Amino acid sequence: MNQLNPIDQLIDGALSMLRWLIALLFLANLLMFVVVQGVFGPLPSAGGREPQHLDRQIHPELVRTRPISPEEAADQAVVGGPAPAAAVQAAPLSQ
């Protein structure tokens, strides 16, 4: 009878899991290589997705920015300012 002792069974199981892990990592690496090579199309981070909009602009030289007047700025949210202190009320603990 060719029975393995518990230590050998444990090592055999660990090696089997390690083989599967290596195979899975290899497949994941292969998939990422294929994606980076552009087989599935360009990556979203590769640049503007709709460059034709730049070509179809009508009179882009007429677009101007202007400062906001104080009356208009009153309705705008304050970004980056200090946070207001929270109104916390506490009562003394009785023992």
**For the segment 63-83, what is each residue's pLDDT rounded down to a tens digit?**
888 888 888 877 777 777 777
| 2 in any annotated domain | yes
- Specify if 47 maps to a domain: no
Closest-CA residue to 14 (of 34, 56, 22)? 22
Range of the domain at 3: 1-29
Mean predicted lDDT score pLDDT of the chain: 83
16 domain residue, yes or no: yes
SS3 category, 71: helix
Total structural domains within the chain: 1
7 lies in some domain: yes
Q: How far apart are the first and last CA of the chain?
A: 73
Q: What is the pTM of this model?
A: 0.42
Residue at 78 is within a domain: no
**pLDDT exceeds 60 at position 1:** no
- Reported as a pLDDT band with limits 50, 70 and 90, residue 3 is confident
In a domain, 54, yes or no: no
- Band the pLDDT of 48: cuts 50, 70, 90: low
Task: Tell whether 24 is covered by a domain.
Answer: yes
